[in-house]
Structure 1
Amino acid sequence: MTVPRDRAWGIALVAFGVATAALALRFRVAFVTDPLGPRAFPWLASGFLFFAGIALFRRPGDHGPWPEAPVRRRLLLLVAVLVAWSALLPWLGFVLPTAGATGALARLFGAPWTPGLAAGTGLALALHLLFVFALGFPITAWPWG
């Protein structure tokens, strides 16, 4: 007897959700420092994973056809851009990798390079200002400071 792919992934998601919740139980921060606590996001993520896994296990899909080669290639490039962005953040700060990644993603979806990079730069600067001044997250903007 074979287990359908979706049911196997459903079981994996449930297990990952339970593991995430178990790890979140270990987080300890004083209430005054963070009233919501560092557990909020892991608990939310674990709940989503758990219930998505249950839903996938109970109602697997019909296993439609794989996407065509150009769509698969675009998806792989998208993942590569996001991995490169996260790898470059510690060394180049927030603005440069975010502007480059946004420009590359815009190009990937059909925009010309110049407007894509311009929009990416504007978005990166706006997000940096939002994180630093509105949300109070001390993120480094540039590699030199």
Structure 2
Amino acid sequence: MEKGEVVKAYKEYEQYLSALAVSCRSVEDVHAPIAEGKWSVAEIVMHLAEWDRYIREQRLPGMIESARLEGAPDVGRFNEAAAAKAVSLEFEEVVSYAQRERALLRKAVEAFSPKEWKARFYIGERATTAEDYLGSLLGHDTHHRQQIDDFLP
């Protein structure tokens, strides 16, 4: 996936968050689970924001030719901690944090040179590039946006 496509998708998500902040006015909308055993809208948004932060802080700096990065953190534990942060915050704070993290990630991605975008590195034993890694994560965003859109009136 081209870098411009990833950047465009990140900008669209930032706009989506702005619209979400306006459309979600009740506490019930944002803090009720979207289904039995599922997170709330606020928890989903915080989950995505925390992954943005992790990618920006822990992944991007190591995305250099032939680098060997550690595998992902314990995903279950990471996700639980991310979701828990949303519980004690007002939704506006969650959205503001998520917008800030996505904007910082977008700006960092925009700074990648064409060579850096295509550099092959390893996460554990799996070879990848910034292009492939970041492009593949857009599906994660889409999945969670669809959950939110299906839940909200």
> What TM-score, normalized by structure 1, do the two folds share?
0.35
Per residue, is there more strand in 1 or in 2? 2
